[in-house]
Amino acid sequence: MKIIFFVDEKKISFFSKLLKIEKKDDLKEAKKELVKIENFWRQNEPFLEGLFLKLFNEELTGEIKIFIFPNDFLIGASETVGQNILFGQPSRTTNFSLAIITHEICHIILSKNKNKRPIIVDEIICLMLEDYIYSVLDKTLLSDVWKESELDFFHLNAMKVAIAEISENGPIINRNINNLIDALSNKLSDNILNIKPPSGLINNLGIK
Ligand SMILES: [Zn+2]
């Protein structure tokens, strides 16, 4: 799996208009962020690659493109078919950008797994992986990084299940992903399994 980082002027100008945060230094700011984020990524690449290999049990092929935006765009999304990730958020922990990009890569990898399951199951798994990055690299937890009050209903419920699952059965690194998908699909109530992500700006653009 090849991870390539980009700053794309057209994408930045598209989103700056859409999000109504037009300012002069967009491009410069994104380029500065790219250097920082790519450095963090490259430093931790053996750890991250080992993690994906262990969890998803296969050599990952293909390319994933990470498009970096200025911090105040508050974007974290993946377009699974094209294997593109959009990221631009202020860091909440030292390795926050890695945790979010890993979360989005997890969505891309899970999208290749065609076993039928509710969409919230993927979100729970990606959050469990995000938690693992925080716990190993930053000695902190998902629940310390995200306040419940700032999450939408879908992400709030996914986070609660992820935290409960980790405290009950340990970190994601010790799990088999297919078993985890089955376990979550079987044990969660329909009330949880039927929760759908909010339709918003990013979803309307065909990105999730
Ligand atoms: Zn997600």
Rounded to the nearest angstrom, the distance between the alpha carbon of 122 and the centre of ligand 1 is 7
Kindly list the domain boundaries of the chain, sorted by start residue.
Answer: 2-204
Q: What is the pLDDT of residue 58?
A: 66
Rounded to the nearest angstrom, the distance between the alpha carbon of 78 and the centre of ligand 1 is 8
Rounded to the nearest angstrom, the distance between the alpha carbon of 14 and the centre of ligand 1 is 22
Rounded to the nearest angstrom, the distance between the alpha carbon of 9 and the centre of ligand 1 is 25
Q: What is the pLDDT of residue 132?
A: 98
> Which 3 state secondary structure label does DSSP give 139?
coil
> Mind listing the pLDDT tens digit of every residue in the chain (208 residues)?
899 999 999 999 999 998 888 778 999 999 999 999 999 999 999 999 999 999 997 666 789 999 999 999 999 999 999 999 999 999 999 999 999 999 999 999 999 888 889 999 999 999 999 999 999 999 999 999 999 999 999 999 999 999 999 999 999 999 999 999 999 999 999 999 999 998 765 544 544 4
**What's the pTM?**
0.93
Q: What is the pLDDT of residue 201?
A: 53
Report the C-alpha dihedral over residues 24, 30, 32, 38, rounded to 10 degrees.
180
Q: What is the pLDDT of residue 208?
A: 43
Rounded to the nearest angstrom, the distance between the alpha carbon of 16 and the centre of ligand 1 is 22
Q: Please, which residues bridge with residue 6 across strands?
A: 67
What are the residues whose beta carbon lies below 5 Å from ligand 1 (ion)?
Answer: 123, 126
Q: What is the pLDDT of residue 22?
A: 77
Rounded to the nearest angstrom, the distance between the alpha carbon of 76 and the centre of ligand 1 is 8
Strand order in the sheet with 75-79: 2-6, 63-68, 84-88, 75-79
Rounded to the nearest angstrom, the distance between the alpha carbon of 181 and the centre of ligand 1 is 15
